[in-house]
């Protein structure tokens, strides 16, 4: 079984996330998604609308996702790759190059981001409409 791993906050799920997950799954048979805990989001300078538990439940309902694990820090990726026997690490190309250190443990793939959509933009648009 070929195992794929990716990381993210995955707040306010949108088609950019789904496009990433669908393409990531095509690299193997089993996709593990490590989603950022609420505490790690604070370290990333992000405040997710949905809690970790809610984001976990939403991701687990996606057909491409086989398992969801927590992301607590920047340092856990090598351990995650080894402990989960990961063959392919996949991230959007906004992270291109940032995780090349994983190449000694698994294949590293950066996929083009979906243009024109982001959780930040969704929040801005909703905020603007609610203020008339």
Q: Which residue is nearest to ligand C2G (CB)?
A: 92
Q: Please indicate whether residue 77 is annotated as part of the active site.
A: no
> Minimum distance between the CB of residue 91 and ligand C2G, rounded to whole angstroms?
5
Q: Which of 3, 4, 5, 7 binds ligand C2G (CB under 6 A)?
A: 7
Give the other-Cβ count within 10 Å of 60's Cβ. 13
Phi first, then psi: what are they for 71, rounded to 5°? -110, 115
Beta bridge partners of 68: 33
44 catalytic, yes or no? yes
Compute the least distance from the CB of residue 93 to ligand C2G, in Å. Answer: 7
37 binds ligand C2G (CB under 6 A): no
Name which position in 39, 94, 100, 125 contacts ligand C2G (CB under 6 A).
Answer: 94
Q: Which of 64, 84, 118, 123 binds ligand C2G (CB under 6 A)?
A: 118
Number of other residues whose CB lies within 10 A of the CB of residue 89: 24
In SS3 terms, 64-132 reads as CCCEEEEECCHHHHHHHHHHCCCCEEEEEHHHCCCCHHHHHCCEEEEECCCCCCCHHHHHHHHHHHHCC
**3 state SS of 9:** coil
**Considering the rule CB under 6 A, would residue 20 count as an interface residue with ligand C2G?**
yes
Please identify every residue annotated as catalytic. 44, 46
Binding site for ligand C2G (CB under 6 A): 7-10, 16-17, 20, 36, 71, 91-92, 94, 113-114, 117-118
């Amino acid at each position: 079984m070929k195992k794929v791993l990716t990381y993210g906050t995955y707040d306010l799920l949108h088609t950019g996330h789904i496009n990433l997950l669908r393409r990531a799954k095509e690299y193997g048979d089993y996709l593990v998604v490590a989603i950022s805990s609420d505490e790690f989001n604070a370290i990333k300078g992000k405040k997710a609308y949905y809690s970790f538990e809610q984001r976990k439940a939403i991701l687990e309902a996606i057909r491409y996702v086989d398992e969801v694990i927590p992301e607590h820090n920047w340092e856990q990726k090598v351990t995650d790759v080894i402990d989960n026997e990961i063959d392919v690490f996949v991230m959007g190309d906004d992270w291109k190059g940032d995780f090349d250190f994983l190449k000694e443990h698994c294949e590293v793939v950066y996929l083009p981001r979906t243009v024109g959509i982001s959780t930040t933009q969704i929040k801005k648009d909703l905020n603007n409409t609610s203020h008339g």
